A and B are shown apart, each in its own frame.
Chain A
Amino acid sequence: MSFASESTLGDGPLKTMSELVTFKVNDIEVSAPKGMLLIEAVKKAGVEIPHFCYHPRLKPDANCRMCLVEIEKMPKLQTACTMPVAEGMVVQTTSDSVVASQNGVMEYLLGNHPLDCPECDQGGECQLQDFGHQHSKLGSRFLEQKRVFPKEYFGPLVEKEMNRCVSCLRCVRYCDEVMGVTALGSFDRGNGTQIGTFAHGELDCEYCGGCIQICPVGALTSRLSMYENRTWQLKKTDTICNYCGDGCSLILEGVKDDITRVSSETGAGRNRGDLCARGFFGYGAINHKDRLSRPRLNTKGRTLEVTWDWAFNKAAEDLKKIVAQHGPDAVGGVISTHCSNEEAYLFQKLMREVIGTPHVDSTARYGYINALSALNEVFGTARLSHYEDIRSADVLLVVGADMAESNPIAGIQVKDAVRAGAQLITLDASSPERDTYYSHLPSLATQHLNIRFGTEQSAIIGLVKALFDKGIASSAPRKLVNQIKKKVAVISFAEIEATTGLTENSYRRAAQTYAGAEHAVMIVGRGVIQSEGGYQNMLRLEELSILAGQVGREGAGILPLASENNAFGVVESGASSEYLPGLKRQEAKPKALTLLEMIDAAAEGKLKALYLVGADPLRNLPQKKVADALSNLDLLICQDLFPTETNAHAHILLPAASFAEKSGHYTNHEGVVQKGHQAIEPVGGAKPDWMIFSILSNKIKEETTLPYFKLVGYRSADEVWKEAVMAMPNDWQQNSKEAISRHVAAYAEHAEIQYALQTPRASNGVMDLQLGQNRYHAGTTSRYAEGLNRLLDCECVVIHPDDAEALQLEEGERVRLSSHLSGASVELPIQLSQKQGRGALFVPEHFGLSVKGLLPLTIDRESKVPYGDRGPVKLSKVAASTQVKG
């Protein structure tokens, strides 16, 4: 008998436990799936068995001995947390011997406990309090000296109070079994057992907060909300995390208008209750003192704070003036992928219908649009796989993604799958080693296709070519197969190896594993989606999945990872130059401009007014060019949470409410649409974006006679949502196998497939630099989260220890990065990481702007995505005298 994973949440073995058994607990007869753990099964009879170490997310460990129950015909009391329920079982949870044992365990646990509940942050949601209240006798006979552990700060964000610890090891098990980080362990023995990190150091880990949340008592608590509130005073609101595209449900907790902590509910949401550092510790941005609070006008170098009314009138008037003078096409607008579906819908409506311009786009243009349009082009949908599919897949192919950094919760689904026996194939330029306290998917991979930096495009050709050995699915349209076969035939494995560094054999093995899987899911990350050739490379991967027969059927599919929480939803709601709501391609006249083209048009003087909602092109595009374009505008309206480089140029600056201050729907990268609820009133004088669009639309159309008159002027986001849903096709959230294969067949007819092998780059003393996401941050808003800043608060260059050694560099030492093209340079400290590919450097993109300036910018011919995250740089030691101390 093995208990492995029988109790883990979700779709594990429980799904297959369809056979019911009938058993009795405290004389109540109930039935439950055979093999279900008793501790869960008795809930069906309304019985709760007290417990500490049991947790549904973890494998049973049976160490606390609180759940002992009496089972007829068994000689000793049995732990309900390990006992599978069986037909005819007769269970007592309140008999004298059970009660005596429960009283006993409680007296043991409370003996050394400091009973400092009045100042403990867990008070009110503590299992020791709750079960103690129910299962303790009054008074303790413990007259001895209590054991005392000194209180410790366990790293910058966790408070460790071992006197409260019940040694249930839930924290250690969570970190091992769920995160795969293994930062925690129990130390010393017997009565001196305590939780710590190896070598008794400070906690240095992914800081997912899971150990804090899963601790049943106040032994591990968050330093961010230390002593702030009593838990029962906190108002809890369900919402969706606003950082990455994983779509995690979280609970914002606060008093009045102050969010003081975040939690999540075990098993709830796409994340099943797991969170990452950003979700758990990243709420500090919401109530940050730098939030914009009043509308501002900038005229002739003077800044005026004005009322909303004034701002609306001014914006409406100025926009109308420009439309009157230059026509509606002189106006353009870009919205952020952190806004809700309602807001994106309303924004495109404001632009397209109220103002009448086709020029609307979103920040999905920085990359994610590649994935959405390439998927939509081939399959007619971008909803091709879910986390459930990942967890039940037997093969996972992860291409160009560092999921532990960019999408940690989607990463947990992969880790779960690997633990359940799935084979993992990873393809990227990272090294497969992991740093001690951080997880890294390639370290779990059965095959890590360790390509040369930036050669994803060529590696995809290798995989496709290798597939022709024996992997072509019968479902793949012949025409497509033939075309591809012909195209890859002219490229040799030797050439592919010369570029990517990977042998024919590696490709064959991977292609066979992928195609031979019962259910494979392909997960595609920024290394493809947001890197040069992104749109075409995405198409090539989709064709690979079609050839392998790993798409368009139950359990197999493609998941395109999003770095922003609503990249999918904003585009699908119509805030995109090429799509109307529901990803309906639009043929606008004049042709709709993309974000980049709007900047160009502004520079040329064709675009007169630009409305930027949460978009900060000065950060993402060549600064000089953007600055010139912006200053050429007659009207720049910006709507933001915080001051940015871009909105410093705004003529009208509107303070927007954060996700915590509004309700709305968000669509994660699986295509799952979820509602977030409003937790607090808007901070300062901010307003939700949807409300701003609604009011502004009214102001603009006050003197017009357009027929949509009655449609604007919404009282709530829900009202907007009702209308937005009406604008979607009937089955927008569904997809059918038939529809997908129809689309694939149509694509096969007209597709013109090109394979372009990259040329191997000679390493002439330069290193490859990649900008990207760090696990503690997302975009730039996270920089305002105090908790996350304690983990990382400045730019650094990540380098492999071998490279550092060769260059005689030490951790923290400053180096100079310079562009061998422009000669521009930046000085940054280095950070060592085992997982960094040798010869390659990584800089987190959340902080300074200057590194971006070292990298070349190219623009996708089809999707107009600007690629500026990769390129060669020179790295040199900074002479000792110029080293900055501290």
Chain B
Amino acid sequence: MADYELILFKNMAKTGYDGSLKAYQQEGGYAALKRVLSDFSPADVIDEVKKSGLRGRGGAGFPAGLKWSFIPKDYKGPRYLCCNADESEPGTYKDRQLMERDPHQMLEGMAICCYAIGAQKAYIYIRGEFDLGAEILNDAIDEACTAKVLGKDIFGSGFNLEIVVHRGAGAYICGEETALLESIEGKRGKPRIKPPFPAIHGLYQEPTVINNVETLANIPHIINKGASWFAGIGTEKSTGTKIYSVSGHVKRPGNFEAPMGVTLREIIYDFAGGIKGDKQLKAVIPGGASAPFMTPEQIDTPMDFDSIKAIGSMLGSAAITVMDETTCIVWAAMNLMEFFHHESCGQCTPCREGSAWILQILRRIENGLGEETDLALLEELCGRIGGNTVCAFGDAEIGPILSTIKHFRAEYENHIREKCCPLRPKARLAMAH
């Protein structure tokens, strides 16, 4: 296994590292914040982050420095930072580890960001199920405030920052940045129409930046070691390292930190130890439930935003789900659709009605009740959702369906022709009740 330099996991990889303020400071923690507060103007920070090439780790890969620069400079009212820690995309579990094992790394990143955008209040919107994470963060914030590295008059600079941990209530859609804002405001978590964008009208209609946990955790390192150091890692347009959450039919599932641009093959066969039982690889989802499926032929593609996009999928959160030869693709698509159907907020007609209809068709096919016309209908129903909804959930939910029909059409046809699932022939009985 190749030996890559760890950035985000570096501290926690050390034996005995407990993530406390003391431990974090022993590793040089909060030096970046201190330096920024004494030597950097907010514009300097934004410049440095821009130069580093850091792109958002929440899924869309939007350049972080550019996003921060959209906050109106001369705006008089409050501004906010929201750290997106909702991490609900099936297969993704990297933020959890970052928060639980090294909370100050992310808090320091948040503080630097707040300084850069002029925010004095920040929220961490944390997935409701993360009890431990919320507790750890709250303790870490208390600890940091007591030590005056967060809170009032940080490092005597006059800069104040209050960080609030806000726990979600179990809806995947609240990870979508505008639904997240609604949820913090105490409303039903449902995405807003854009424009206006959060940088202008965000939380409580004030200018707001929303960044993923991993994005923010990178910030102190960029400040400490410099933008060009960071830009030298990974590929030209996807800089730095990425945490890959690997799950499914692999021998060693887990989070692996490696530079952007390593291949899927290296991740699956090297980091994760290959397919369980040494079976054949059948399909891979490279970036969380919303990323289109990839085939074994495509696993030499470098894992960076542009290369994965070029072959018709997306890097997303880089949560890699590996499926071996025993997996029924129709069942897998149906399983994902169960998730999307359950999680659609229900405001857009195509997503609300489409997710339910598509799921019903998939269930029929998987259970041997498919019709010849179903595949064309599925493609059309998906086509009506893509690009036509308020939020990107609509595009996400059709990814698995369209890609499996594209790459595994024969398997769908087989289900319909044979009137049963070749890999799970008993499924129909199960549905009969």
Contact = CB atoms under 8 A, between A and B. Distances in A.
Contacts of B361: 144
A396 to B, nearest CB: 23
B104 interface: no
A63 B347 contact: yes
A1 B194 CA distance: 9
Given A189-B344, A190-B346, A82 B356 contact: no
A733 interface: no
B202 interface: no
Interface in B361-380: 361, 364, 371, 373, 377, 380
B354 A108 contact: yes
Nearest to B193: A62
B169 to A, nearest CB: 12
A76 interface: yes
Contact of A61 (B193, B196, B377): B193
A1 B195 CA distance: 6
B349 A142 contact: no
Given A77-B387, A191-B356, A108 B350 contact: yes
B360 interface: yes
A167 B387 contact: no
B28 to A, nearest CB: 43
A111 B352 CA distance: 12
B356 A104 contact: no
Interface string B383-397: 010011110000000
A2 B188 CA distance: 21
Interface in A74-94: 76-77, 79, 82
Contacts of B360: 144-145
B100 interface: no
A166 B355 CA distance: 15
Contacts of A61: 193, 347
Interface string B324-360: 0000000000000000011111111111111111001
B201 interface: yes
Contacts of B8: none
Contact of A190 (B196, B356, B371, B387): B356
A76 B388 contact: yes
Interface string A738-749: 000000000000
Contacts of B315: none
A436 interface: no
Contacts of A186: 188, 346
Contacts of A65: 348-350, 388-389
A186 B345 CA distance: 10
Interface in B296-343: 341-343
A108 B349 contact: yes
Contacts of B388: 65, 68, 76-77, 101, 104
B395 to A, nearest CB: 10
A64 interface: yes
Contacts of B380: 104
Interface string A88-108: 000000000000110011001
Contacts of B46: none
B171 interface: yes
A166 B388 CA distance: 17
A105 B384 CA distance: 8
A376 interface: no
Contacts of B347: 61, 63, 167, 169, 193
Contacts of A100: 384
Contact of B390 (A63, A112, A142, A185): A63
Nearest to A100: B384
B165 to A, nearest CB: 25
Given A62-B390, A77-B387, A189 B346 contact: yes
A63 B351 CA distance: 10
B377 A141 contact: yes
B193 A167 contact: no
B346 A192 contact: yes
Contacts of B355: 190-191
A167 B357 contact: no
A606 to B, nearest CB: 68
A369 B52 CA distance: 76
A77 B342 CA distance: 26
Contacts of A557: none
Interface in A177-236: 185-186, 188-193
Contacts of B357: 108, 111, 142, 144
Nearest to B172: A189
Contact of A191 (B193, B201, B353): B353
A764 to B, nearest CB: 45
Nearest to A105: B349
A64 B346 contact: no
B356 A147 contact: yes
A109 B200 CA distance: 34
Given A62-B390, A68-B388, A101-B384, A189 B342 contact: yes
Nearest to B364: A144
Contacts of A2: 196, 200-201
Contact of B349 (A63, A141, A144, A145): A63
Nearest to A68: B388
B178 to A, nearest CB: 12
B188 A191 contact: no
Nearest to B187: A185
Contacts of A144: 357, 360-361, 364
Most interface-central of B347, B360, B361, B388 (chain A CB within 10 A): B347
A324 to B, nearest CB: 76
A871 interface: no
A5 to B, nearest CB: 13
Contacts of A192: 346
Given A60-B193, A191-B355, A105 B341 contact: no
A754 to B, nearest CB: 48
Which 10 residue pairs are nearest across A and B when measured between Cβ atoms? Answer: A193-B346, A104-B384, A108-B353, A191-B356, A190-B344, A144-B360, A63-B347, A76-B387, A190-B346, A62-B193
Given A76-B387, A105-B349, A190-B356, 4 more contacts: A2-B196, A167-B352, A190-B342, A191-B355
Interface of A: 1-3, 60-66, 68, 76-77, 79, 82, 100-101, 104-105, 108-109, 111-112, 141-145, 147, 166-167, 169, 185-186, 188-193
Interface of B: 171, 188, 193, 195-196, 200-201, 341-357, 360-361, 364, 371, 373, 377, 380, 384, 387-390
23 contacts: A1-B195, A1-B196, A2-B200, A2-B201, A60-B193, A62-B390, A63-B347, A63-B390, A65-B350, A68-B388, A76-B387, A82-B193, A105-B349, A108-B357, A111-B357, A141-B377, A145-B360, A186-B188, A189-B171, A189-B345, A190-B355, A191-B341, A193-B346
